[in-house]
Structure 1
Amino acid sequence: MDITGLLIFLAIGAVAGWLAGTFMKGRGFGLLGNIVVGIIGAVLGGFVFGLLGISAGGLIGSIVMATVGAALLLFIIGILKKA
């Protein structure tokens, strides 16, 4: 992966983490935490979308997939915090 691809991946992760934090009503972790959640969420979203046989292409598809994964990750973290 070249530096441009890495920067795009980080930007998508940041946007996805911010969106997921917004959708999950303030369950975000600040800017840096949201980037981490978004990156992990992008990987999780890709895995889940692959299991479901859903393909997301392009920049918007990547953001949607990463946001769904990040929201799922925030949901799981919320459940684990309560336990």
Structure 2
Amino acid sequence: MDAKAIFIWIAIGIAAGWLASIFVGGGGIIRYLLTGVLGAFVGGFIFKFAGININLGNTYVNEIVVAAVGAIVVVLVARLLA
């Protein structure tokens, strides 16, 4: 994995975490990154398992939406367990 791919992954994680925080609260750049990256894994699993394929025109936009949905799920589950 090259530096560009890592940077894109981090940017998508931060954007997804920020979007999730709009819906469920929270804040801070580190929290955005952690929930966004974890949300990317969870969202990818959910979308693949459910057979949902989104196409919003841009690959990065698609990835951010999937990661944001996953991040929302992660935050809601964490709140239920706490």
- The alignment's TM-score, normalised by the length of structure 2, stands at 0.89
Q: In the alignment, is residue 65 of structure 1 matched against residue 66 of structure 2?
A: yes
Q: Structure 1 stretches of 5 or more lacking a match?
A: none
Residues 18 and 27 of structure 2 are in contact (CA less than 8 Å); yes or no, is this contact kept in structure 1? no
Counterpart of 1:30 (choices 28, 31, 37) is 28
Bigger mean CA offset, 55-64 vs 4-13? 55-64
1:72, distance to aligned residue in structure 2 (A): 0.3
Report if the CA contact (8 A) 1:56-1:62 is conserved. no
Count of residue correspondences: 79
Percent identity over the alignment is 39
Q: Distance in 1 between matches of 2:54 and 2:12?
A: 14
Stretches (4+) displaced over 2 A: none
Output the CA distance in 1 between the equivalents of 2:2 and 2:21: 28
Code of the aligned partner of 1:11:
A
Unaligned 5+ runs, structure 2: none
Residue aligning to 1:75: 76
What do you get for the CA RMSD once the two structures are aligned?
A: 1.2
Q: Could you tell me which amino acid in structure 2 is paired with residue 75 of structure 1?
A: L
